[in-house]
Amino acid sequence: MSAPPLHRLRIASQDWIYALPALLLGIALQIQITLFETDTYLGLRINAADLLLPVLGCLITGRLLLKRDPWPQWQIPYTYGWIAALTALVSLALVNGYLNTGHWNQWALINKYVGWFVLLAYMGVGAWLSGQERCDWKKAIFVSFAGFWAATMPLFLFYMIHVDLGDNSHRIYNLYPLEGLMANRNAYAFLSFCALAFLTAVTMKKPAPAPIYFHALWAAIPLFYIYNASRAGLVALIFIVMAFLATNLKWSLRHILLPLMLGAALTTAYTFWHKDSLALDITFSRVHETAQLSMLSQMPATDVQEKLNYDGDQVRIDTYSDALAVWHAHPIWGGGLGAFRDYQESKRGTYSDVIDFTALWLLAETGIIGLTLFAVFFALALWNLFARIRKRKDPDGFYLGALMIMLVFAIMSLTHELLYTRFLWFFMGMALALPAAERQS
């Protein structure tokens, strides 16, 4: 018997002791915090959900070892083999980085190597939750993750507008761009468009008309972009709209495109009325710089740098050039974890924390072997989710939402390093693990 749709499920009162951690996790995944910050140290930035991992890890590991719960089973064949292979690859990259640089890079050791096991922990937690029969975990996660974003995004947006209308240049520069609780505008754009796509996928499956708050969220997106100004986010938004139009044209025209166009009209009127907005000036200049960057894309990197106005794009050009240099020196296995940072510091006297292109980072530090392994695993995940949806095994839209999250990642990772985003791996674990009803004994 197939599972009932997501919106018809209820969590029994006796199961809230289990569902509460899932609710907290869905909220904490949207909060970035900084620890140990000093005048000379930028601090260690972690996700608030990382603080819950030790407790959840002990609970889940104990239940698995005591055989109270079965180990997760997966839609992708040999998933545990894939996890082992990717872990071996990351371990080899750590050792390779030491061999190529002559020292252990502490930043790479903590952020990339230890961070990899944190990602696997999130994937494991998601898989364990997906396979539980005690209560409706997917319902709890959906309510907390999408609900918390839908409740807080308008609050952040309205506060930004309030400050902008006050014409306080100091305060608006401190607030702009809109980052939510993610401490970075692109990370917040990634979170926002993933949550919006997830919410849309589930709402589309409901027999009842979409609620007013859903239309209001889509109508607020143009104004959200004005104050967030993530260029990769804009591309992701266009893709999301086109994908849902292709999935259900009539529904999407009424419930997505119509409120989106209404919101665009209201936002346009707002921009004409509030011509002195400092935030609007910055956003429009970013749009101009994006067009400029696309026109200069055929020129040599050194010539492009001289013509760029936005400092961030100048840094990006340097970063890409240096990453390619590291890869050219070590094409098969890459330079190893930390090799790019070491190369930049020796060449320029400074360094970028990340390469704003996930595939290029993998290429530079894990080589063509590493990029291929990650790409094949990611492609298998996409294909399995797509096949499940085509077989109509997605009555509540959860798997469509997870597929959209992965596709948004694929788009935005072309200009940002998003591989270590916690909620991405958490939802991958939930979506790729077999539900309890489909597990083999």
Distance between first and last Cα of the chain: 17
Per-residue model confidence as pLDDT tens digits over 140-169: 788 889 999 999 999 999 988 888 877 655
- Supply the mean pLDDT for the chain: 86
Distance CA 356, CA 358 (A): 6
Per-residue model confidence as pLDDT tens digits over 224-250: 998 888 989 999 999 999 999 999 999
Residue 297 resides in a domain: no
Among 123-132, 165-174, 181-190, name the one with the lowest average pLDDT.
Answer: 165-174
Distance CA 92, CA 310 (A): 37
Identify whether the C-beta of residue 220 lies closer than 8 Å to the C-beta of residue 154. Answer: yes
Portion of the chain with pLDDT greater than 70, in percent: 82
Q: With bands split at pLDDT 50, 70 and 90, how would you rate the model's confidence at 293?
A: very low
Taking the model in full, what pTM does it have?
Answer: 0.90
pLDDT of residue 7: 47
For residue 386, give its domain range.
6-269+312-438
Q: Is the pLDDT of residue 264 over 90?
A: yes
As to burial, measured by CB atoms within 10 angstroms (0-12 exposed, 13-18 middle, 19+ buried), residue 266 is middle
Residue scoring higher pLDDT (148 or 129): 148
Q: Is the pLDDT of residue 296 over 50?
A: no
Per-residue model confidence as pLDDT tens digits over 390-401: 998 898 899 999
CA geometry: angle at 172 spanning 168 and 176, to 5°? 170
Q: Would you call 273 helix, strand, or coil by DSSP?
A: helix
* Number of independent structural domains in the chain: 1
Residue 284 resides in a domain: no
Give the residue from 158, 142, 236, 250 showing the smallest Cα distance to 192.
236
Per-residue model confidence as pLDDT tens digits over 41-97: 556 778 999 998 988 888 889 989 998 888 999 999 999 999 999 999 999 999 999
Residue 281 resides in a domain: no
Per-residue model confidence as pLDDT tens digits over 374-388: 999 999 999 999 999
pLDDT of residue 49: 94
Residue 26 resides in a domain: yes
DSSP classification of residue 7: G
